[in-house]
Amino acid sequence: MSSRSAKEGFLTRVARRGGRSDRSPLGAWFWDIDWVLLILTLFLMAIGLVAVAAASPASAQRYSDATHHMPALYYFWRQVMWVAVSLPVLFIVSMLPTESARRMALIGCAGFLIMLMLVPMIGVQVNGARRWLGVGVAQFQPSEFLKPCFIVAVAWLLSLKNKEQGLSGGVLAALTGGLTALVAALLMLQPDFGQTVVFCSVWLALLLISGISARTIGALFGAAFVGVISAYLFYSTARTRIDAFLFPDSTDAADHFQVNAARATLTAGGWFGTGPGGGQMKFRLPEAHTDYVFSVIGEEFGLISCAIVAVIFLAIVVRVFVKLLDEQEEFRVLAASGLAIQFGLQALISMAVNTGLAPSKGMTMPFISYGGSSMIALSIGMGLLLAFTRRNPFVSRSPYVVKWSGE
């Protein structure tokens, strides 16, 4: 038997046993999943564990008292537990077909929106903000879980523009705008200015991607400008943080201490850092393991490591949009785009706060910062993103971007 015949026979046997011909749920997932996105996500989780381990001694010392002493790696071991819980969630959600993933997200949007309405009444107050439901270790933040579900719900509504008669771009913009306004109002009651910015920004981005008319876009940007001015004039939380950022010399030192401490910690290690465990500035940081973990990375692993983390976040967002270039289903394009924008925007805001380029917002860094509900919610969001960017090798796709008709 010739070597060529032997090779063909081997490939035939492999195909019969499995490979791309294996269309079982697990086999389909293995061949259709975007492995680049998945590996980059797992890499971020690994970086997060290292970063939380570096920040854990500072946070444990800050929150220890005479009656309760926390071990130095208290937050690290808890983060290991949350990652162990979140990974199966990510994989399971990523295996869902598009219809099932959409149905799950729509149900989740309704459920978590109701929970968000309950927060002002029965929520748990922590550090002056009422954002959590539950008791003890069962506490969770409904807004974190609402984010990916809200994005999918808005994407689904906007995708109906070319399918249902009577649903023009303007009608759908008003409908999704009403939903966004409700969520924003509930978030501002907590108060949570950072999450409000994320929800509103993603909604505006999805409207632009959906191809609404220029007149509607102009009206929305005008409304956004009015909203920012109104928030400054009538929303004390926004006004306090903006004033502390723009006029640090004329505000209370406590208002801008966090941003100054974060920037000092970030640059304390220079280009290459002090080495694991060598940082000292981190002990001055409030919330070193959550909001300001990026600064801890800068101190102990250097500014080059911070740049690498930023590049990974950028690579994930770019990868999603490259994958969507040949996608023909409008809903998948909108849903995946919205999830990628939310992911990248949250990382960008967190990095901007740590570098002093934005006022403090209490924004965690995706998969890097410590957190239980945020880690699980991010895993749901990334699982949905992986589900919507999966490819079926037996379905032919056009190499051109499908142009949707405008309003």
Domain boundaries, the chain: 31-388
Distances (CA, A) of 128 to 75, 124, 342: 22, 10, 26
Asked if residue 325 lies in contact with residue 57, where contact means CB atoms within 8 angstroms, the answer is: no
Distance from C-alpha of 82 to C-alpha of 312, rounded to nearest angstrom: 22
Asked if residue 48 lies in contact with residue 378, where contact means CB atoms within 8 angstroms, the answer is: no
Please give the pLDDT value at position 66: 55
Q: What share of the chain is helix, strand, coil (3-state, %, to 5)?
A: 70, 0, 25
Please give the pLDDT value at position 395: 46
191 preceded by a cis bond (ω within 30 of 0):
yes
Q: What is the pTM of this model?
A: 0.84
DSSP state letters, 133-155: BSSGGG-B-HHHHHHHHHHHHHH
**Which stretches of the chain score pLDDT less than 70?**
1-24, 65-67, 127-128, 135-137, 162-167, 169, 214, 228, 231-232, 234-256, 361-362, 392-407
Please give the pLDDT value at position 32: 85
The dihedral sign for the CA sequence 13, 17, 18, 20: positive
Sequence-separated (6 or more) residues with CB below 8 Å from residue 23: none
Please give the pLDDT value at position 394: 44
DSSP state of 250: G
Please give the pLDDT value at position 303: 93
Closest CA to 295 of 272, 246, 261: 261
Distances (CA, A) of 242 to 131, 199, 226: 21, 19, 16
Radius of gyration of the chain (CA): 23
pLDDT for 294-323, tens place per residue?
999 999 999 999 999 999 999 999 999 999
Distance from C-alpha of 298 to C-alpha of 247, rounded to nearest angstrom: 26
Collapse the DSSP code of 321 into the 3-class scheme (helix H, G, I; strand E, B; otherwise coil) and give the result: helix
Please give the pLDDT value at position 378: 95
Closest CA to 54 of 81, 30, 79: 79
DSSP state of 316: H
Neighbours of 51 (CB within 10 A): 27
Asked if residue 48 lies in contact with residue 313, where contact means CB atoms within 8 angstroms, the answer is: no
Distance from C-alpha of 143 to C-alpha of 274, rounded to nearest angstrom: 36
Distance from C-alpha of 237 to C-alpha of 217, rounded to nearest angstrom: 28
Collapse the DSSP code of 403 into the 3-class scheme (helix H, G, I; strand E, B; otherwise coil) and give the result: coil
Asked if residue 213 lies in contact with residue 169, where contact means CB atoms within 8 angstroms, the answer is: yes
Structure tokens at 228: 């920012």
Closest CA to 62 of 327, 325, 366, 291: 291
Sequence-separated (6 or more) residues with CB below 8 Å from residue 55: 75, 282, 285, 288, 289, 292, 293, 296, 370
Collapse the DSSP code of 288 into the 3-class scheme (helix H, G, I; strand E, B; otherwise coil) and give the result: coil
pLDDT for 273-299, tens place per residue?
898 888 888 888 888 888 899 999 999
Helices and strands (H and E) in the chain: how many: 14, 2
